[in-house]
Structure 1
Amino acid sequence: MCSERQSPQPGEHNARTDRAGVPEIPPTFQKPFSFYMSLLSLGMLALITSWDATSLAIALPAITSKLRGTTLESFWASISFVLGVAITQPIYVSVSDVLGRKQPLYTSMVLFAIGAVVFSTAHNMPVLIAGRLIQGLGAGGLDVLEEVILADITSLKERPLYLGLLAVAIAAGTISGPILGAVLSEYVSWRWIGWVNLPIVGVAFLLSLFFLHLRQIPLPFSTKVRRLDWIGMALFATGAASTALPLSWADALYPWSSWRTLVPLIVGIVILTILCFYEKIPTDALFPYRIFTSVTSIASLVTGFIHGLLLYTMLLYLPLFFQAVLLESPLEAAKSTLPVCALVVAFSFFAPVIIELTRRYSILLWVGWVFTTISLGVWYLVDQGTPRVEVYALQCLLGVGVGTLFTGTQVPMQASVLNVDDTGLAVGMLVIFRLFGALVGLAVSSTAFSSVFQQSMSTLGILPEQATILNDASQAVGFIPTLRTLNLPADCMVGIVEVYRNSFQAIWIIVTCFSGVGFFVSLLIKELSLESEEMGRQGFQQPQ
């Protein structure tokens, strides 16, 4: 096991020359105009990825109702996007590390734009899901490369500051996503959720084309292509998809005991296991073993996986909870989720600023996990009778915890690398694990929701004619917009709402348990030095 960098002793200094012996430029130098334009481009990519993560959830019931979709199809509008992201992220990282960052970045922008067009023009749920999948194939590159490139063009010593600045863009997308998604779906058209992405992608593309000047990798293209881990890419894509698909439909489309669930799940696990052993062989592996050789890096990746599972699950199900259990309109639900969105944004900015000032991160991470676990656990108790001040207080606690972990988990992962050229890979691995966690979380939560809904609804007996559709759990999400307009006896209405609440409670239990595991794993993360001023081989190229 490789040794990890410990905090420097008094009088120690980090090397500040590159491999050619040329002194590195201090992080305090006056950055060129092109650097800031590149940073703006990365910020715009962060904006649209965070916007996409929060805007669809609030509009999902309305979309499902208008397109006559099922509950499984509505969940797959989110799962397909995350599946595309999770499968392509390691491929984008590996390809960009061998071929260079810009070509994969441009490819991801084009795919994202195409997916947005397909989504916006869809007239049924299968086409909408296909559009979201194509968007995910592009968003996989946008989400991971924005952070990888930021790691390329900044040193570890100055990076917390720029992580905080990038969080401002995430803030705009996270806060505006639910509100604009609700406004568009309720008063204009849900299709504009896709259309508004196009001008932002276009401007970001032009900025990166003219201002993002990265050092080239001095190898012939044919040599670069031969170095790619083609077999690893195929194994990961096949294994990840084969594992995620049955998790999403178990007990919803097919029973757990069905061969349609068990066979692909077992095949996926076997393929991913083969991948783990195979990755020892390639020189430029999809998942390089050297990234996983320290306790801190492994613990950071595990906590990143759990953080992604929590974050994306809550972004989808909290707005649905407010609409189904508290009987709010999409716009009201968007306003109700503002506390958690605002605090996630604020503390995703404050966390790196605190790390920048203190040069420490361990205690901050522990506090984040404690806040997250407590708030998720208490959400189990929230119902229609819970005072709003308590609901908002819980959201604030959750926002502080999740926001602190959002950017805070990146720092120890980057500090754990022994070779500065591996920083981009390390960042990419963390983002990959975070999104794979999101994929698993959404798939498992979808199964839990549908299974508990079906079981709970069967206890109510014969339903009034207006609500008989709920005997089919596949219609649960699509029925949410109608739920608040029902004119039913009070005891019947309370029973139906309680069925929805029971389904969400199953999800709260799952994410609380995962969050507790995340806290204990975070105790293994060591406090490492943040004083390196070296830049990677694909760092920002200074104008001549």
Structure 2
Amino acid sequence: MADRPTDSDTAVSVSAPAAEVHAAGTTPDDEPTAMDGGTVEMVGNKAVFKPTRSFYLAFSALLVLTIAVALDATTLSVALPTISSALGGSALEAFWSGTSFLLASTVLQPSVAALSNIFGRKYMIYLMVIFFAAGSLIGALAGNFTVLIAGRTIQGVGGGGIIALTEVVVTDLVPLQFRPAWFSTLSAMWSIGTVTGPLIGAGFAQNVTWRWIFYINLPLIGAGLAFVVLFLHQAKIPGGIVQKLGRFDWIGSILFTAASTSFLYGLTTGGVSHPWGSYQVLLPLIIGPIAIIVFGYYEFHWAEEPIINKRIFNNRDMLLTYVITVLHGHVLWSILYFLPLYYQGVLGYKPIISAVAILPETLTVAPAAGAVGVIAGMTGHYRWSLWVGWFLTTLGSGLLLLLKPDTSVAAWIWLNVPVGLGTGMLFPAMGLSVQAACEPVLNAQASAFYSFLRTFGQSIGVAISGVIFQNMFQKKLLRIPAFASVAAEYSRDATSIIYVIKAMPDSADKTSLVKAYNDSLHTIYISMLAFSAFCLVLTFFIKGYSLNQEHVTNQGLIDKAKDKEDAAAQSDGANAEKLALGS
């Protein structure tokens, strides 16, 4: 890879004003013009990105899709107790209704991104929207947990694909130098979804019906699809369907999907569906990493068009950013999953109030991400946001240890703000770090892999934090005579124990149980503190690259309005020429 300017160097070139679709930036007369989502103009001594009308409309499509998936990712958790009661489901079935979505949304992301390189982003978005809508409808109509889990799995395939593709499309349309603001806008929409998701889920579950948690996805995803059809016009990839199917790395896709599914299945079911020492858990945990090694060897040595290009691992910045991305997903999802349990199980709040109680985290994510986008876009530097983001996340994780059964409302509000600011800043910061360190031609692949790792971190975060909670809660209960006989049963599921606590009359035993529950949640916060501090240290080894780099894409935006104007101008010119000849 050719050397590029580092974060401390002076920017040397402005992004190419047109997508590298044809040599020398030209296009044949019979093809529409493919270009970036705007033009780069010099205002004073500063380069300014001027988006086209087509870009604004196309970006609106991505925002609608993002908020639809974000809503779905967070509406279900607070309503699971109500759904379990309505469908007569067990704690294990309730667990799988959430886990199935996470697994499906994670393991197929690299394959979806690779298919979009061959068939085009727009057509893969169509397919992912169909999966998401079909899964939503199945979930809404489910009469038992088997059908619900099937619907959630199908939803996960679509949702994960949409998450990856929205970020990849931005890399197609916007030069790296100007991406911070647009990535921050996507982060803001995700934040709005995560803020309102628990509120909507709890509100539907308590006051309407839980089925509307799924029905509400349909008009949102429908609007997003309409926006994509009407406004997202990218340059087409040449070749027929058979030729494109032949180009796809089927062996690599199957290997990767099987390997990651195996590992995540073992990790998420250990201690829940099966004991950790059972072959049902150990076998997937062993097979998964082995299959990943086989996949890596195949991709790097034999695959002609690999789904994961080895060149997205070729410098220290990229490798370190991948590590902290996984741990960021771990920390963030541990907060979103387990903090509402503190409000319900320890403070005794109802589901809808617990959803309101996590607003100090969720409401701060969007402003923090937006601030990083604005400042990074103005200065061209992003390492500072990695340092500040992980410092605040580390501090905030430590402050969560002050949450107790008698913590006041004012206290828990302010204790939760730093971790929200920190995790919010890291969304755009880590995305910029990966893309700046990557070759421009591989930005889309690096962005897709970054998206996969973030979702992968979310999956393992809930699983690892769940194991930490189970082990500590069981130890705590064994020390309480009234609960020693049921310690193994009560510690298996952090959610179901809330109903046990709420059903108990005020007594010394209830106080002991609540304290044990809260102390066990503290062990999760300690793990978050350790992981965050580790990531903070790693960020000081990230060198940083300039954001001012060439923009290379073969799926630039087609400005149909401009094409029509050009065609009309040519037609008027031809008519004028005919009139002149006739006269």
**Alpha-carbon contact 1:469-1:475 (below 8 Å) kept:** no
Q: Cα distance, 1:304 vs. partner? A: 1.2
RMSD, matched Cα: 2.4
User: Does 2:545 align with 1:528?
Assistant: yes
Q: Cα distance, 1:533 vs. partner? A: 5.2
Runs of 4+ with >6 A deviation: 467-470
1:26 counterpart residue number: 39
Report the Cα distance in structure 1 between the residues aligned to 2:500 and 2:140, rounded to whole angstroms: 23
- Which sits farther off after the overlay, 423-432 or 33-42? 33-42
Name the aligned partner's letter for residue 502 of structure 2.
Answer: R
TM-score by length of 2: 0.87
Q: Cα distance, 1:78 vs. partner? A: 2.2
1:325 counterpart residue number: 346
User: Does 2:253 align with 1:250?
Assistant: no
User: Does 2:153 align with 1:153?
Assistant: no
Report the Cα distance in structure 1 between the residues aligned to 2:416 and 2:49, rounded to whole angstroms: 40
Q: Cα distance, 1:30 vs. partner? A: 5.1
Question: Structure 1 vs Structure 2: percent identity of aligned residues?
Answer: 31
Q: 1:458 to 1:11 in 2, by over 3 A?
A: closer
1:307 counterpart residue number: 328
2:294 counterpart residue number: 274
1:431 counterpart residue number: 451
1:408 counterpart residue number: 429
Report the Cα distance in structure 1 between the residues aligned to 2:11 and 2:154, rounded to whole angstroms: 53
Name the aligned partner's letter for residue 20 of structure 1.
Answer: A
Aligned match for 2:375, one of 343, 354, 373: 354
1:508 counterpart residue number: 525
Q: Cα distance, 1:75 vs. partner? A: 3.0
Q: 1:533 to 1:278 in 2, by over 3 A?
A: closer
Report which of the two structures shows the higher radius of gyration computed on alpha carbons.
2
TM-score by length of 1: 0.93
**Alpha-carbon contact 2:39-2:50 (below 8 Å) kept:** no
**Alpha-carbon contact 1:369-1:515 (below 8 Å) kept:** yes
Name the aligned partner's letter for residue 183 of structure 1.
Answer: G
**Alpha-carbon contact 2:61-2:231 (below 8 Å) kept:** no
Q: Cα distance, 1:535 vs. partner? A: 4.3
Report the Cα distance in structure 1 between the residues aligned to 2:121 and 2:370, rounded to whole angstroms: 25
1:12 counterpart residue number: 12
Q: 1:147 to 1:496 in 2, by over 3 A?
A: same
1:344 counterpart residue number: 365
Report the Cα distance in structure 1 between the residues aligned to 2:50 and 2:284, rounded to whole angstroms: 54
Q: Cα distance, 1:94 vs. partner? A: 0.8
1:26-85 superposed Cα distances (whole Å, 9 cap, x missing partner): 335654433222111100111012212222222233333443434443333222111011
Q: Cα distance, 1:506 vs. partner? A: 2.9
Kindly tell me the number of residue pairs found equivalent between the two proteins: 540
SS in 2 for 1:484: helix
SS in 1 for 2:206: helix
Q: Cα distance, 1:185 vs. partner? A: 1.3
Query: How does 1:156-305 map onto structure 2 within 5 Å?
Result: 156-280=176-300, 281-305=302-326
SS in 1 for 2:186: helix
1:249-308 superposed Cα distances (whole Å, 9 cap, x missing partner): 223332222222211211111111211222112132121101110111111211111111
Name the aligned partner's letter for residue 105 of structure 1.
Answer: I
Report the Cα distance in structure 2 between the residues aligned to 1:357 and 1:157, rounded to whole angstroms: 9
1:9-34 superposed Cα distances (whole Å, 9 cap, x missing partner): 55833463646112876335654433
**Alpha-carbon contact 2:171-2:179 (below 8 Å) kept:** yes
SS in 2 for 1:12: coil
Report the Cα distance in structure 1 between the residues aligned to 2:168 and 2:14, rounded to whole angstroms: 22
Unaligned runs of 5+ in 2: 27-34, 41-47, 564-583
- Which sits farther off after the overlay, 400-409 or 269-278? 269-278
**Alpha-carbon contact 1:65-1:479 (below 8 Å) kept:** no
**Alpha-carbon contact 2:106-2:160 (below 8 Å) kept:** yes
1:494 counterpart residue number: 511
Name the aligned partner's letter for residue 153 of structure 1.
Answer: L
SS in 1 for 2:135: helix
User: Does 2:394 align with 1:373?
Assistant: yes
1:389 counterpart residue number: 410
